[in-house]
A and B are shown apart, each in its own frame.
Chain A
Amino acid sequence: MDDSFNTTATSTRARTSSSVVVKTIRVIGWTSLIAGILILGFVAQQLFVTSWFADRNQAALEDQAQTYFTEASAGAEVVPYVPSQAGLQPETGSGTPVGADPSDGTEMEVRRTILVEPAPPVHQAFAIIRVPTIDKLKDGWTVVEGVTRSDLKNGAGHMPHTALPGQPGNAVISGHRTTYGAPFHDFDQLEPGDIIEVETAIGVHTYAVRETEIVRPTELWVTEPRDGAWLTLTTCDPKFSSRRRLVVFAELVDGPNAEAILGA
């Protein structure tokens, strides 16, 4: 009788113990499965869904940019180019001719002029960037005004308060490296001399890459005004991380304002 009782008790304990083990394994299994699905979903959403939306938006944004080109080109003005103002956005409809003598008010010949387009409204698609040596950017990628999270969901954004592309100073454009269409994905392949074209309302501005640099995200000096006309492109580095920034510096070599700016 006692033996039978002991055997039953042992068997019950064993069953309870094995039931706890099975339950634990089941919970671990389900947790791992759900975590795996969530992580896979995250990767899929970041790599494919965001890019699908950005690619789909590009067609609409390009149309928006073309419409803007027509409107903004009507508002473009020719203003004197003063080299000392490099880095500042020239004010349309104003400016002292180069060589003006402030002491007696006599005006000398205006040596150089540049074409200035009105500043685009925030969030407006206003430029198209093309890089012939990079497949993704061969056909162009639309640039919007602004670098907020929503501006950059379409891929690339121009930092407000920096010069516009084709204007004297430093035009800064930021773009995604791995998500949202990843327009700047292959910027690590750019080499000095590579050509970057930026189309705006006043024409196509051609830049040549001068150097690339990897900096910390807080290094604001890369956005500061520079003599001449520069294009600074910034993106995340390394790929799949926002720890650092890959910065490409390119100098204006051709375009509507190149002669005036380079000849200065």
Chain B
Amino acid sequence: MRRFIEVLPGPKPVKYSLAVAIVLVALVALFFIYDWVGSSVLDTGGTIG
């Protein structure tokens, strides 16, 4: 994680802000992927046809 932050551009506060932003975007993307997989495979809502 520390290595990942160090690679980011800018001074330390910018590096940390970027890291937080990247993690948030990744979490939101993950949420949508989970949502899609869940409603396609695990439980489609029981529709017919």
Contact = CB atoms under 8 A, between A and B. Distances in A.
A181 to B, nearest CB: 11
14 contacts: A42-B37, A45-B31, A45-B34, A50-B35, A147-B47, A159-B47, A174-B47, A176-B43, A179-B43, A217-B48, A220-B48, A240-B43, A242-B41, A242-B42
Given A152-B39, A172-B48, A235-B45, 16 more contacts: A42-B37, A42-B38, A45-B31, A45-B34, A46-B42, A157-B47, A159-B47, A176-B45, A178-B43, A180-B45, A182-B43, A217-B44, A218-B48, A223-B48, A236-B43, A242-B43
Q: Which of B31, B34, B45 has the most CB of A within 10 A?
A: B45
Interface string B9-45: 0000000000000000000001100110111111111
Interface in A214-237: 215, 217-220, 222-223, 234-236
A220 B46 CA distance: 12
Secondary structure of the B contact surface, majority rule = helix
Query: What are the 3 A-B residue pairs with the smallest beta carbon separation, nearest first?
Result: A235-B46, A152-B45, A242-B44
Interface of A: 38, 41-42, 45-46, 49-50, 147, 149, 152-153, 157, 159, 172, 174-180, 182, 184, 215, 217-220, 222-223, 234-236, 240-242, 245-247
A177 B49 contact: no
B38 A46 contact: yes
B12 to A, nearest CB: 26
Contact of B44 (A45, A172, A218, A236): A236
- Chain B, interface size category, equals 10 to 19
A186 to B, nearest CB: 13
B47 A246 contact: no
Given A41-B30, A45-B31, A149 B39 contact: yes
Contacts of A234: 46-48
A175 to B, nearest CB: 6
Contacts of A247: 48
B47 A46 contact: no
Given A149-B39, A242-B41, A174 B46 contact: yes
Contacts of A241: 42
Contacts of A215: 48
A178 B48 CA distance: 17
Contacts of A217: 44, 47-49
B38 A147 contact: no
Nearest to B34: A45
A184 B39 CA distance: 15
Contacts of B49: 217-218, 220, 223
Given A41-B30, A45-B31, A177 B46 contact: yes
B43 A42 contact: no
Nearest to A232: B48
